[in-house]
Every structure is written in structure tokens, then in C-alpha cells.
Structure 1
């Protein structure tokens, strides 16, 4: 019996040592390798002030600095650790205990001193529990999958927020440029009105109306500059930077609407059902709930385990005898919960209801995903049509403004026609800017609705901008 116990103990210790040697004592089951690393998003640059940042840089810096991504990765690591804790049930447990006692007493002139040392080693291993141990591991593994998928969903949300803030700044910056062009046109109109007034070909009203138009153009430009400054602060905040940081941003890579892509909404919905990370997280929670039912049911069934122990005790009395006592035991144990006050029954009912809840939540989310893809698709189509129309509008307004200014300078046009044409041109510039960057933002919104706004998309953006 002692030889068998020693062999069992040595084998258990050897298995534990080999497992620890394979992956390191800090992660014997290599569960941390199942969690995406923040390094997967790329190198996080520390010194970016003075560097011209493109869209890919903005997104990468946001992913590095945003607390939401750090929290998501921490939650995934926690779930991985829970999986490791569940897998520990596959190994035996070993415990070592010991004690040392020194006693001294005196009765009259008689003194006695005794010393005693004892040590014991015990091992326990669960042999069979009707699948409860495996169900616990499956539950932890599914929860880790859910945490990883939720982390991916968080990443895509941060991705979209950074891209939206970037395009908002680009739109505001282009709006400032458009307002400055309109201000220059208004200043040219005022100059033409003054020249015609000097030669007696225009009335003071012409000059005053042109001056009023210039003041309005200046006011529009000042408002646009304020909007641009606020958009800059919003983007800096999304990147985890201070609004006072000296950041420079490059224009986005040129792109135009894709009519073929806009006509494949059915395909986009099917893709979203397959690759949306929040749907993947919901599916993983369903698997976790199913495994939890099996674990709860197994708790009401017998468990078979083996326990073994080895002990040694030594005692000595001063001037007396020396004693050494050793012993060992091994036992095969079976426990059967005959009656638990219906606890297992109700725990099973609760687990089954939780499974129904997770399935209903998944179904509701699937409907929301379909609606989000449909709405994002329709918004992209609308913005694409608006962009194509704004191109025509800008071209015709530009031609009309140039013709009206030429006619006015030649003395065959009036100031009202010129100011009307310039107002239409200013409006066309702003509408074109809004349409262009609204379309850019709509592309990313659709990509996020489909579930494609991941690190692969970031690499594609970087290649486009190189």
C-alpha cells in the first residue's frame, strides 16, 4: 500500500511539474495565449506631436489609449484565468503539513523535557463526477469566448468613434476652407462694386449690399473655425490626448461611392449575422448556459474520488526513549447526495430559465443587427447619391458665379444676380463638404454594423494611405 501511495504521489507531482514546465508557473495551462494582446493593434507611438497623422494613425492611437479597450482586454484575461481555475480540477491536489512541539515540566526536583516532530502528506483526486468537471470547463471556455468577442465589439466601437471624430474634423476643416473661399468671392464682389461706383456705373446700394455680403461671409468663416476647433478637441479626446496637444492631421485617402457595394444589402446582412462580435458573444453565452445546466445536474449525482495520506511522527524525552511512528492510508470514496432539500431541482430550473433568457437575448440582438445593417446601408446609399449630386451642384454653381461676376464687371449684370450666385456657390461648397465626409463616415458605420471594422480593416486602411 505504501509503495502504491508513493507512486501515485510521485506521478501527480511529475504531471504537475511537466505541465508547469511546458507553459511556465505563471500560466501552466497556457490560457493567456487564448486572449488577444493589445500588441495585436500594432506599436503604440509615444511621441506623435509634430507628426502628420493619417486615419490609420488616429485609429491605432485611439485603440492604444482608450480605457475601454484596456478594460475589455482585462475582462478577457480574467475570463481566461477562470478557465485555468476550472482546468485545475483535472489535476490532483497535494498538501503537506507539519508540526514541532517542545515541552518542559518540573515537579519538585524532577525535570522532564520532551520533543516531538510530525509531518504528513496527503493527496486527493476526483476520478468521476458524471461530467460535472468537464461541464465546468466548457462553461469557463464559453465565457472566455464571450469575453473575447465582447472585447472585439469594444474595439470596433472605439474604431468607429475615432474614425467618426476624424471625419468630423476633416469636414470642419474643409468647411473652413470653403467659407474662406466664399469670403474671398464676397471681397471680390465688393471690390467690383466699389470700382463701378467710382466710375458712376453703380449706386451706393450696390456697394452696401456687397459689403453686407462680405460681413456675412466673415461671420460664416468665424463660426466654421469655432466648429473646427471643437472638432479638433473631440478627436484629441478620442485619441486619449489633450486638446492642447500640437497635432497635425493628413487628409483622408481619396474614395468615391461604389454602386455595386450599395446594391448588396442582402449579402451584407448575412455577413453581419456571421461576423458581428456581439452576436458571437451572445452565442458563446448560450453555450456557457448549456454547460452550466450540465454542471448543475452533475452536482446532484455521485462523485468518485481517491484520497491517500502518508505521515511520520518522531518523539524524544530527555533521558528517556526515542520513538518513531509512520503510517499511510489510501481510500476510494464515493459520495451520493440522496436528498438536498430540492436544491438541485431548483438550481436546474434556474439554469434552464437562464438558457432561455440568453437565447431570447441572442434572437433580439440578431433582429437589431439586421435593422442596424439596413439603416446603415440606406444611409450610405443616401450619402452616396448626395455626394454625386453635390458634385454637379458645385460645378454648376461655380460656373454661375464666375459668369455673374464677369457680367457685373462688364456692366451688364446687377449686384443682386451676383450676390445670389455667390450665395448659391457658398451653399454648394458647404453641401459638397458635408456630403463628402458624411459619406466617408457612413462607410465606416456600415462596416461596423456588418462587424468588419476590426484590425484587418485597420491594416487595409494603412495600405491605402501609403
Structure 2
């Protein structure tokens, strides 16, 4: 045949609305169910709430709140803050991410099965130059191909095992990081709680001082009116009263600021009204941290979440080295496929097409051997080794920082304890001195300067004691947070 044959083929996808709608609906149903479905059991690693690791013994009621208690308790403030703090919620989300990655690592041990369906409308035109009798034009309404493929990795020189260990280590790191975030948030909110409680106590103390200054002014005025004391006594007492009232105003402003900060910790508006407990309501010095500072540092190094997180990150990096190396080795897979089609057939050019069906299947083993990857594997392994070295230094840094933090927190607590003891003695002495000065002034054997000096000394001692007791309480919880030994009150 000396003629020329030209073939023009037109093919486009069939859009069958009903089939597409059914396929999309089925896919959406699978996606929705897959989100809730956890066949590889990873959900158990996820805490029930952002604060659950710190309230492990309180059941499922964590982060479920009623109305604000009156007065506000430390535990209530801590739980609200831990549940609503963006940092703790971010750490909780990281645990969910890592748990899903563990599921991916476990899924690598299972076979994958995929199905494909294709439906097309086919038009084939063949024009044979100079021999029109051999030309043809075939139009097929719907050509279908259905196939199912199975692929199962049987052996990969430990690549999947290393990947799963990497995912497990990263999950442990995320869990430890969540605990570290909770400890940090715990330290911040407890400090702010005691600052607000101390500010409330300072306001109460200033009110007492104003009342005492008013009483002193009234006594000085009465004596001046009777002519038994100079008018300067009245003026000096009036000055002391004005100063006490000014200090009261400042204390109220500091209380409002502290309340706003505490509200922010708990995720509420800063102007939300809070009733703080009196300073006298709270823990007193005890023997909770009587171990040596060396013992506390060793305790922290063994259990503090940031160190455990760094250790898990190092384990993950070392597993990544093994995973990267294994990915460059041969892989043995079991493969299988079955396909079916209704492709028509023809015996020769110009012969009409005949309807036909066909099917194909195979089972077998497939070995994949990476031969040359452009040296990329070399550098990937180098990168993984370098990442492991980096994580090793991160671990050392975390250990040094925790030791330093525990040392500082311990010394702060020791100083706060000694300061509190001294302040308790000072406030008792200054109170008695002020009472004696008052009696002496009333009997006319003391002067106004002695009385006012006693009042000011008592005022300073009272405010100093309030500051000292709250600094001790805060230092106690800061040390507890640094060594991962959170008290129950």
C-alpha cells in the first residue's frame, strides 16, 4: 500500500453527574469517618484537655468551669490559666500532631490497596490518503477501565522501624514539652495570683494605717484645741494622715493592675471583678523543700520535662539517621493487581471495531535497588548526623539551664524564708512600740514625733510582712515548678 494513513483521535473525560456525585459523597464520608476512626490506637497518647497532665488525678472534669468562686482560690486560678493559656494549648496541639505521625509510622507496616475507575467517550478517525475505502471513523459511547492494586513492603532494612521510633520519640518530646509549658504557665499564674493577693493585703493594711493615722490626728487636734499641745502636733499628724491616704490610693491602683494581669492569665477581660483571699489565708513556711540544693538539682535533671523533651528529641534524631540510611538500601515488596476493561478491538485498518472485554491480573515480588541518587543520600545522612549532634548540645544546654534555675529558685526561697521570719519579728516589735507611743502620748509624757515615728515604722513593717509572705509563697511554687514537684495547695 503506497498511500499515507493519518489518524486523528479525540478523547475527553465523561462527566456523569450521578456517578461523580456518588463518588464525591463516598469520598467525603470516608474522610469524615477516617478523622474520627483510630484503628492504630494513637488517641490514647493525647491528654483529654490542655491541662490534663498537671491534673491527672481529677478525672475528666478538667477545664470544665462553673461561676467564679468567692474568694478566688489558687487552684481555680491555676486551672483556668492552664486551660486557656495559648502556650499550653499550642503544646497540646503539638501532641496531637505527633500522635498522628506515630499512626503514620505504624501504618507503614500495612499493605496499601487502591482502586481506579476510568470512563471516557472515544472518537477515532483514520483517513488513508488515496485509499478512502480503508478510512474509518469510530465513535464509542463509554469506554471503562477498572483496576485494583495492592502494594505491601515486606522488608526494607529497618527503615520503617527507624521511622516509627523517630515518631515515637517526637511524641514523647511533645508530651514532655507540654508538661514544661504547663510548669511555666503554673509558675507565672501562681506568681501573679500571689501578687494580686499581696496587693489586696496591702490595700487592707493601708486602710488600717489610715484609720490609725486618723485616730492619731484626732488625738493631736483634741490636745491642740485644749491648748495642752502645740498646733504643730496637729499639722504633723495631719501630714501623716494625708500621706497614709495617698499610699492607700496607690495600693488600690496596684491592686487593680494585679487583678488585670491575673485575669489575663485566666483568659478573661482585665476588668473582670475578682475577690482575692486575705493574706492570712494561705500556706505558711513548712519543710517541703528541706533537701540539699544538690539533691534538688539531681531530681530536676532526672525528671524535669524540658530535659526529657530534649532527650526524646535526641533519640528521634538518632533514629532519623538510621531511617535515612535504610531508605538508600534495597526494598522488597509484594505487588498485585487486577484490572478489567471493555476496550473494543479491530482486526486491521479499515476493518470495523468489534465490542470486546478484557481483564488482567498479576501477583509477584518487586525488589527496588537504588543504584545512583546523585550523592543525595550521602548528604542526607550527613544532615541527619549533624541534627543528632545539635540535639545532643540542646540536651546539655537544657541540663545546665535547669540546674541554674533550680539553684536560683532554691536561693530565692531560702532568702524569702529568712526574710519572712525577720519580718514577723519586726511587725510584732513595731506594733508594740506604736501602742506604747500611743499610750505615752495620751498621758502627756510622749511627744507627737515619737508617736508618728512609731506609726510609720508599724506601717512599713506591716507592708513589708505582706510582701515577704507572698514572696515566700511564690518562691515556694517557683521552686516546685522548676523541679517538677507541684504541691496540691
TM-score scaled by length of structure 1: 0.87
Matched, 1:59 2:87: no
Gaps of 5+ in 2: 1-33, 56-60, 126-131, 346-351
Q: How many residues align?
A: 436
1:305 alignment partner, SS class: strand
2:342 alignment partner, SS class: strand
The Cα shift of 1:200 comes to: 2.1
Q: How far, CA to CA, are the matches of 2:327 and 2:122 in structure 1? A: 47
Structure 2 counterpart of 1:92: 111
The Cα shift of 1:356 comes to: 1.3
Structure 2 counterpart of 1:153: 180
Structure 1 counterpart of 2:406: 373
Matches within 5 A, 1:270-349: 270-315=298-343, 321-349=354-382
8 A contact 1:169–1:228 mirrored in 2: yes
Q: How far, CA to CA, are the matches of 1:74 and 1:25 in structure 2? A: 16
2:47 alignment partner, SS class: coil
Q: How far, CA to CA, are the matches of 2:247 and 2:393 in structure 1? A: 51
1:119 alignment partner, SS class: strand
The Cα shift of 1:392 comes to: 0.6
1:121 alignment partner, SS class: strand
Structure 2 counterpart of 1:449: 482
8 A contact 1:376–1:442 mirrored in 2: yes
8 A contact 2:183–2:482 mirrored in 1: no
Q: How far, CA to CA, are the matches of 1:92 and 1:347 in structure 2? A: 27
CA offset digits 1:317-357 (Å, max 9, x no partner): 9x985433222112212122233232222222221121111
Matches within 5 A, 1:59-458: 59-103=78-122, 114=140, 115-251=142-278, 253-259=281-287, 261-315=289-343, 321-453=354-486, 457=487
8 A contact 1:193–1:202 mirrored in 2: yes
Q: Which segment is superposed worse, 225-234 or 49-58? A: 49-58
Distance 1:351 1:414, change over 3 A: same
8 A contact 1:160–1:444 mirrored in 2: yes
Task: Specify which structure has the higher proportion of helix.
Answer: 1
The Cα shift of 1:250 comes to: 3.0
Matches within 5 A, 1:1-40: 26-38=37-49, 40=52
Distance 1:342 1:103, change over 3 A: closer
8 A contact 2:88–2:181 mirrored in 1: yes
Give the alignment's Cα RMSD to 1 decimal: 2.6
Structure 1 counterpart of 2:15: none
Distance 1:58 1:341, change over 3 A: same
Larger Rg: 2
Distance 1:342 1:256, change over 3 A: same
Gaps of 5+ in 1: 1-22, 462-466
Q: How far, CA to CA, are the matches of 1:25 and 1:428 in structure 2? A: 61
Q: How far, CA to CA, are the matches of 1:376 and 1:436 in structure 2? A: 16
Q: How far, CA to CA, are the matches of 2:223 and 2:237 in structure 1? A: 12
The Cα shift of 1:69 comes to: 1.6
Q: How far, CA to CA, are the matches of 2:381 and 2:245 in structure 1? A: 72
Distance 1:50 1:300, change over 3 A: closer
Greater RCO, CA 8 A, separation 6+: 1
8 A contact 1:49–1:245 mirrored in 2: no
2:371 alignment partner, SS class: coil
8 A contact 2:203–2:255 mirrored in 1: yes
The Cα shift of 1:262 comes to: 3.7
CA offset digits 1:366-394 (Å, max 9, x no partner): 01111111110111011011111111101
Distance 1:413 1:174, change over 3 A: same
TM-score scaled by length of structure 2: 0.83
Q: How far, CA to CA, are the matches of 1:316 and 1:302 in structure 2? A: 41
